[in-house]
């Protein structure tokens, strides 16, 4: 069994869906589960409906915009008499019904029930178009299989139940299903959080003991740097699970660790390939794979903040102080991307995704002296060497740097 995952960019419009047919015919599709994300920006547009629902209850225009976009795609793929128009129309009717009848005020619950329509609709369109193109497949609702608790927007997989649901799965067929989605024990939709569609595919691969999993993207594979910032970025042909997790930890736009973990447990190779050039092999992530020779990997995180915390009485930054600081970081959901500890101070590069930095400063200033430099850039280089380090920081305002084994990090203030 194989598992393919097609993200939003690969099914964003009619031409993209037609290209999925080309990808499958080029790469082969027998005994495959095809996992599909919502089309293009649909998830963002559904989030607007959630916000409108809570702010002014004026969500009809948002729904009609999404409906119009999807029916425009349908008109380019199908004849008006085909049943897919009725299927998709019912989803939009169900969306209206939920919004009118819902009594819950739980934002995360409502978010998941609304946003889930994106994957349900896109997977139906892809499944029907593949059948029309003689790639015969069965559409399945992944909520019948992947079960989670009721932690809406970040569902925790109930593995034993999920594995049991796949026990009698017929692996001789082709299927199309949804990424990002699961269901709790009341059959309410639960989304799987960041990189949820990749994670869905990995869960399926794990439960079916798949031979491999392929993620189809608009890039050649996993690069050693972001081409937007590094002109000489190159493809990594092979990479280990561990190295992928390391790169992700430091902020690289690769595969999220939670996607890697189920694959690593059963040693299922992950192939990252281009849906633009499906004949190319891309990157293979598997056990024991090494970057040979060790190609330096460059990761840039912009608009982060350098926070230096010092004890007021020159006492050491011992366990009690560190415990207090990291507890506050955890409670406020502030991510640390670099850490440097000295005798009487600690320096942190932090991301303020949830706009809680001011609250953190307010609480820490009670006990510590603080210095903060906002909107700096953090460069991380895996498999670094002295020549690369010197070139990177040359003629730049370096605020902090450190080297741990062959991983080099440097904080630079671009505004000076």
pLDDT in tens, 186-219: 999 999 997 899 999 999 999 999 999 999 999 9
pLDDT at residue 292 is higher than 60? no
pLDDT at residue 293 is higher than 70? no
Q: pTM, whole model, 2 decimals?
A: 0.90
Across 143-169, average pLDDT: 97
Pairing of strands 407-412, 398-404: antiparallel
**Angle, alpha carbons 8-10-13 (nearest 5°):** 85
**Angle, alpha carbons 39-45-48 (nearest 5°):** 160
DSSP, collapsed to helix, strand or coil, labels residue 308 as strand
What pLDDT, in 10s, does the model give residues 52-86? 999 998 999 999 999 999 999 999 999 999 999 99
Q: What is the pLDDT of residue 291?
A: 63
- Report the chain's mean pLDDT, rounded to a whole number: 95
Query: Quick one: pLDDT band at residue 166, thresholds 50, 70, 90?
Result: very high
Residues β-bridged to residue 147: 183
Q: What is the pLDDT of residue 316?
A: 84
Helix (H) or strand (E) segment spanning residue 322: helix 319-331
Q: What is the pLDDT of residue 272?
A: 97
Structure tokens at 90: 């019912």
Residues in Cβ contact with 25 at an 8 Å cutoff, skipping those fewer than 6 apart: 135
Across 15-27, average pLDDT: 98
Residue 83: Cβ within 10 Å count: 9
What pLDDT, in 10s, does the model give residues 105-142? 999 999 999 999 999 999 999 999 999 999 999 999 99
Q: What is the pLDDT of residue 296?
A: 93
DSSP, collapsed to helix, strand or coil, labels residue 200 as helix
**Angle, alpha carbons 163-149-271 (nearest 5°):** 50
Query: Quick one: pLDDT band at residue 288, thresholds 50, 70, 90?
Result: confident
Q: Give the Cα separation of 354 and 333 in Å (integer).
A: 7
pLDDT at residue 406 is higher than 90? no
pLDDT at residue 416 is higher than 80? no
Structure tokens at 148: 């989670």
pLDDT at residue 225 is higher than 60? yes
pLDDT at residue 380 is higher than 90? yes
Across 224-235, average pLDDT: 91
Q: Give the Cα separation of 204 and 213 in Å (integer).
A: 9
Q: What is the pLDDT of residue 353?
A: 86
pLDDT at residue 94 is higher than 90? yes
For 257, how many CA atoms within 13 A lie in the half-sphere containing its CB?
9
Structure tokens at 383: 């498999």
């Amino acid at each position: 069994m194989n598992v393919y995952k097609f993200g939003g960019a690969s099914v964003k419009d009619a031409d993209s869906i037609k290209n999925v047919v080309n990808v499958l015919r080029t790469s082969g599709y027998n005994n495959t589960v095809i996992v599909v994300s919502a089309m293009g920006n649909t998830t963002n547009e559904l989030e607007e409906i959630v916000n409108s629902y809570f702010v002014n209850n004026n969500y009809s225009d948002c729904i009609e915009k999404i409906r119009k976009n999807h029916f425009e795609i349908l008109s380019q793929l199908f004849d008006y008499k085909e049943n897919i128009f009725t299927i998709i129309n019912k989803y939009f009717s169900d969306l209206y019904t939920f919004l009118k009848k819902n009594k819950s005020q739980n934002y995360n619950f409502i978010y998941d029930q609304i946003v889930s329509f994106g994957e349900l609709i896109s997977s139906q369109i892809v499944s029907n178009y593949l059948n029309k193109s003689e790639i015969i497949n069965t559409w399945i609702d992944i909520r019948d299989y992947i079960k989670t608790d009721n932690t809406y927007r970040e569902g925790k997989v109930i593995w034993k139940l999920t594995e049991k649901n796949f026990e009698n799965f017929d692996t001789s067929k082709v299927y199309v299903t949804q990424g990002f989605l699961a269901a709790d024990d009341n059959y309410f939709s639960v989304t799987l959080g960041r990189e949820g569609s990749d994670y869905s595919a990995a869960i399926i691969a794990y439960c079916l003991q798949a031979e491999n999993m392929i993620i189809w993207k608009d890039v050649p594979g996993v690069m050693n740097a972001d081409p937007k910032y590094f002109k000489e970025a190159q493809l990594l042909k092979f990479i280990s699970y561990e190295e992928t997790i390391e790169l992700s930890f430091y902020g690289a736009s690769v595969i999220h660790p939670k996607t890697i973990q189920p694959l690593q447990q059963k040693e299922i190779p992950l192939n990252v390939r281009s849906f633009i050039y499906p004949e190319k092999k891309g990157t293979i992530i598997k056990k024991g794979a090494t970057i040979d020779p060790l190609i330096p990997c460059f990761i840039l995180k912009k608009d982060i903040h350098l926070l230096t915390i010092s004890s007021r009485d020159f006492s050491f930054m011992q366990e009690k102080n560190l415990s207090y600081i990291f507890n506050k970081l955890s409670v406020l959901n502030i991510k640390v991307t670099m850490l440097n500890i000295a005798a009487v101070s600690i320096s942190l590069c932090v991301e303020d995704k949830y706009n809680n930095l001011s609250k953190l400063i307010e609480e820490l200033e009670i006990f510590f002296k603080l210095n903060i430099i906002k909107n700096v850039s953090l460069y991380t280089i895996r498999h670094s060497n002295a020549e690369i380090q010197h070139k990177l920081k040359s003629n730049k305002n370096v605020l902090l740097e450190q080297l741990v084994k062959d991983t080099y990090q440097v904080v630079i203030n671009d505004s000076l």
